[in-house]
C-alpha cells in the first residue's frame, strides 16, 4: 500500500493503518530499535511505543515522507529509552558513534555554543546534500540509524574497510565544511 493511503487511514482513524505500517515498515522499526537497544524486551517495548506514537501524532502531523517520519520517531524513542535505562547497546556502541563524530571536532573550540542541535542538523543536512547518494546513505546509516560498519557493508555490498574509509573521509569533509560555516575555528 502506498504511504499516502496509509496516512489517509491514520487521518480517518482507521486502525488498519497500523497494520499497514507494520506490514511495510515493521522490520525497519524493529531494526532501528535493535541498533540502539540491547535487550529484546526493550526493543519490543520501543516498537510498541512507536506504534502508539504514530497513532497519537498522525494526525495532526502529516508526514511528507512516512518512512522518514517513522525512522525519526523510532530513533528518538529508542535513544530516549536507551538513555533512560542507560542500556547502551553492545557495551557502548552508541557512545562510540558519538565519539567518532566528535573526534573531528576536538580542536579546542568551545563547542557548547556551537552545537545547538538544530543548527548543526541543518548544516549537516546541507553538507550531505552536496555529497553523492551513496556517501549520504553510508553516513546516515552510521550516524542516524546507528548501524555498525559491518551491517552497512552488508547493505552496500562492499567491504567493511571500504565503509570505514568512506566514513572517515566524509567526517573529514564535514569538519572542513563546518569550519567554513563558522562552526569551527
Contact flags string 82-101 toward other proteins, x per CB under 8 A: -x----------xx-xxx-x
DSSP labels, 112-156: HHHT-HHHHHHHHHHHHHTS-HHHHHHHHHHHTS---HHHHHHHH
Among 105, 174, 175, 177, binds other proteins (CB under 8 A): 105
Residues 6+ apart with CB under 8 A from 75: 32, 36, 144, 145, 146
Task: Tell which residue, 73, 90, 84, has the closest CA to residue 36.
Answer: 90
Residue 63 CB, nearest approach to other proteins (Å):
8
Q: Grid coordinates in use for 102?
A: 566528535
Q: How far apart are CA 147 and CA 32, in angstroms?
A: 8
Is the preceding peptide bond at 60 cis, omega within 30 degrees of 0? yes
Among 2, 11, 57, 102, binds other proteins (CB under 8 A): 102
Residues 16-45 that bind other proteins (CB under 8 A): 18-19, 22-23, 26-32, 40, 44
Q: Grid coordinates in use for 109?
A: 573550540
Q: Which is nearer to other proteins, 85 or 125 (CB)?
A: 125
Residues 116-175 that bind other proteins (CB under 8 A): 116-118, 120-122, 124-125, 128-129, 132-137, 140-141, 143-145, 147, 149-150, 153-162, 164-166, 168-169, 172
Residues 6+ apart with CB under 8 A from 76: none
Q: Which is nearer to other proteins, 68 or 180 (CB)?
A: 68
Q: Which is nearer to other proteins, 122 or 180 (CB)?
A: 122
Contact flags string 54-83 toward other proteins, x per CB under 8 A: -x-------xxx-xxxxxx--xx--x---x
Amino acid at each position: 500500500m502506498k504511504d499516502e493511503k496509509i496516512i489517509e487511514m491514520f487521518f480517518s482513524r482507521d486502525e488498519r493503518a497500523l497494520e499497514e505500517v507494520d506490514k511495510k515498515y515493521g522490520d525497519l522499526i524493529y531494526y532501528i530499535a535493535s541498533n540502539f537497544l540491547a535487550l529484546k524486551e526493550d526493543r519490543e517495548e520501543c516498537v510498541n511505543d512507536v506504534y502508539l506514537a504514530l497513532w497519537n501524532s498522525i494526525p495532526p502531523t502529516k508526514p511528507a515522507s512516512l518512512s522518514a517520519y517513522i525512522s525519526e520517531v523510532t530513533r528518538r524513542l529508542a535513544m530516549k529509552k536507551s538513555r533512560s535505562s542507560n542500556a547502551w547497546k553492545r557495551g557502548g556502541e552508541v557512545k562510540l558513534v558519538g565519539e567518532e563524530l566528535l573526534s573531528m571536532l576536538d580542536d579546542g573550540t568551545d563547542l557548547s555554543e556551537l552545537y545547538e542541535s538544530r543548527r548543526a542538523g541543518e548544516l549537516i543536512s546541507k553538507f550531505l546534500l552536496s555529497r553523492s547518494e551513496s556517501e549520504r546513505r553510508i553516513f546516515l546509516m552510521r550516524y542516524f540509524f546507528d548501524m555498525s560498519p559491518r551491517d552497512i557493508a552488508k547493505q552496500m555490498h562492499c567491504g567493511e574497510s571500504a565503509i570505514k574509509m568512506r566514513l572517515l573521509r566524509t567526517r573529514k569533509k564535514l569538519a572542513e565544511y563546518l569550519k567554513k560555516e563558522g562552526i569551527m575555528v
